[in-house]
Amino acid sequence: MSVTEQASAAAPTAPAELLRFATVGSVDDGKSTLIGRLLHDTKQIFADQLDQVRDASVRRGDDYLDLALLTDGLRAEREQGITIDVAYRYFQSAKRRFIIADTPGHSQYTRNMVTGASTADLALVLIDARAGVVEQSRRHTAVASLLGIPNLVLCVNKMDLVDWSEATFNDVCAQFADVATRLGYESFTAVPISALNGDNVVDRSDDSPWYAGPPLLDMLESAPIAAGVDQLPLRFPVQWVIRPHSSEQPDYRGYAGQVVAGVVRVGDQIEVQPSGLSATVKAIDSPTGPVAEAFSPMSVTIRLEQDVDVSRGMMLSSAADPARVEREFDADICWMSEQPVTPGGRYSLKQGTSTVKAIVDSIEAKLDLETLAADPSATSLEVNDLGRIRVRTSAPVALDAYSRISGTGAFILIDDATNNTVAAGMAA
């Protein structure tokens, strides 16, 4: 646990609400600096941490306190002044707790951005006021859309370098509104900021008298949080079958895993997928003993009344609302390999605890990052391309549309020859 986490955990009146958000956008738009500014101005930085950042700034020859160094932890990041890996930071205000994912802006690290933003409730899209919307701005916003991130906050950064021009701010907002609308977003909020100087980040700035909205922190404190996954139907991927063969419990058979969605209770009717067999929950065992119910993200062992065939990779679902069982399905993917994907490509598909062989039957479309329209004429997907494919698996897979239950709609494709992850996918 980091020092900041320890400080947050020790706070006796920590707010209960938790908002997860990711900073996205092109390289050098100021994502790491913004996070550093949020941590600094909400007084989440200890004196020794600040001294280290100050010393590092001097060594780099900066004539200012480079708050980006609070999140750029890799040596290569500090030397190049860029973000490569995803950095997670924790802080809290009087109203809410936050987990921030600082994602890289370089197109070659789009795969890292997908990972960092996959659990976010909100995306902070940073755009340099001087450059406006660029290709990577569109790519990252498209990824946010595919990941189902419901809320967007546009941060038009470096406003101090355009003399706090209201016309420039409005122009960038208009550019981004076109992008967001094409990607299916009905609305977003926007704020003009200078992350370097802290204007409109935690406190209102006197340099933007024409801006009547709240500072960024107020937006984060009032942003809606997605409903909990416990309101969804049960999804329980089986990770392990437990048979202790002990004299005390000679007939014990339990199915261990983590509740991905929904709630499971003793007496519930469930369906074993993909077989479709029905059973009744007899007992639920937790690390601390039997419990009457379990919910996400609890790891438990479920015992059933009926003696049915259940093994690793299968899923226990709500009998009233089971997952889909498919051998062919469409999916949106972010392609991550230098080797392009073409129809007929063979991979391993890992979804939850299940791994099956899969073939990419067809490339349905590629997202044109200039027009944000789907191009159905595409015959391959290159590294960092976003598109839709048709997948065929060697065995039935229990899944849901990613837009409904992300935990069972997400999957990865693995190159069997190299064992590299080549794509992150979201079932349609």
Q: How confident is the model at residue 88 (pLDDT cuts 50, 70, 90)?
A: confident
| 287-326 pLDDT, tens digit each | 999 999 999 989 999 999 999 999 999 999 999 999 999 9
Alpha carbon distance, N-terminus to C-terminus of the chain? 37
**Which CATH number belongs to the domain containing residue 212 in this structure?**
3.40.50.300
Which of 75, 68, 89, 73 is closest to 8 using CA atoms? 89
Answer yes or no: do 144 and 67 share one domain.
yes
Is pLDDT of 369 > 70? yes
Answer yes or no: do 55 and 204 share one domain.
yes
Residues in the chain: 428
* Residue 228 confidence (pLDDT): 72
Beta bridge partners of 410: 426
Q: Where does a domain end: 206, 222, 238? A: 222
Is pLDDT of 3 > 70? no
Element (H, E) at 51: helix 47-59
Answer yes or no: do 393 and 287 share one domain.
no
Token reading at 40: 């600094």
* Residue 179 confidence (pLDDT): 95
Answer yes or no: do 186 and 269 share one domain.
no
The crossing angle, in degrees rounded to 10, of helices 166-182 and 135-146 is 40
The rounded Cα 258 to chain-centroid distance in angstroms is 19
DSSP string, 349-375: EEETTEEEEEEEEEEEEEE-TTT--EE
Lowest-pLDDT range of 19-33, 35-49, 333-347, 349-363: 35-49
Give the chain's mean pLDDT: 87
Which residues are within 8 A (CB) of 340 and not within 5 positions of it... i.e. 6 or more apart? 380, 381, 382, 383
Token reading at 70: 């609070």
Which residues are within 8 A (CB) of 284 and not within 5 positions of it... i.e. 6 or more apart? 264, 265, 266, 290, 291, 292, 293, 294, 300, 301, 302, 303
* Residue 58 confidence (pLDDT): 63
Answer yes or no: do 202 and 253 share one domain.
no
Does 59 or 211 have the greater pLDDT score?
211
Answer yes or no: do 74 and 111 share one domain.
yes
The rounded Cα 170 to chain-centroid distance in angstroms is 29
Q: What is the rounded distance in angstroms from the CA atom of residue 421 to the CA atom of residue 336? A: 7
Which of 261, 243, 265 is closest to 252 using CA atoms? 243
Does 195 or 117 have the greater pLDDT score?
195
Answer yes or no: do 206 and 354 share one domain.
no
Answer yes or no: do 256 and 379 share one domain.
no
Q: What is the rounded distance in angstroms from the CA atom of residue 354 to the CA atom of residue 273? A: 11
**Which CATH number belongs to the domain containing residue 364 in this structure?**
2.40.30.10
Is pLDDT of 389 > 80? yes
Q: How confident is the model at residue 116 (pLDDT cuts 50, 70, 90)?
A: confident
Is pLDDT of 214 > 80? yes
For the segment 153-165, the average pLDDT, to the nearest whole number, is 97
Domain containing residue 20: 3-222
Token reading at 64: 């200012």
Which of 181, 318, 203, 305 is closest to 260 using CA atoms? 318
* Residue 84 confidence (pLDDT): 42
Q: What is the rounded distance in angstroms from the CA atom of residue 352 to the CA atom of residue 338? A: 25
Answer yes or no: do 192 and 267 share one domain.
no
Q: Where does a domain end: 192, 222, 252? A: 222
Answer yes or no: do 272 and 406 share one domain.
no
Does 127 or 10 have the greater pLDDT score?
127
Answer yes or no: do 280 and 139 share one domain.
no
Q: How confident is the model at residue 90 (pLDDT cuts 50, 70, 90)?
A: confident
Is pLDDT of 107 > 70? no
- Rg (the chain; Cα; Å): 24
User: What percent of the chain is predicted at pLDDT more than 90?
Assistant: 66
Which residues are within 8 A (CB) of 167 and not within 5 positions of it... i.e. 6 or more apart? none
For the segment 76-95, the average pLDDT, to the nearest whole number, is 63
* Residue 287 confidence (pLDDT): 93
* Residue 103 confidence (pLDDT): 79
Q: What is the rounded distance in angstroms from the CA atom of residue 23 to the CA atom of residue 117? A: 8
Token reading at 306: 């009926």
* Residue 10 confidence (pLDDT): 42
Q: How far is CA 394 from CA 317, 332, 360, in A?
A: 22, 20, 12
Q: What is the rounded distance in angstroms from the CA atom of residue 100 to the CA atom of residue 123? A: 10
* Residue 85 confidence (pLDDT): 57
Q: Where does a domain end: 196, 222, 248? A: 222
For the segment 164-181, the average pLDDT, to the nearest whole number, is 97
Is pLDDT of 362 > 80? yes
* Residue 131 confidence (pLDDT): 95
Which residues are within 8 A (CB) of 153 and not within 5 positions of it... i.e. 6 or more apart? 122, 123, 124, 125, 188, 189, 190, 191, 216, 219, 220, 223
DSSP string, 148-178: T--EEEEEEE-GGGGTT-HHHHHHHHHHHHH
* Residue 294 confidence (pLDDT): 96
For the segment 134-150, the average pLDDT, to the nearest whole number, is 90
61: left (phi over 0), alpha (psi -120 to 50) or beta: left
Number of domains in the chain: 3
* Residue 8 confidence (pLDDT): 41
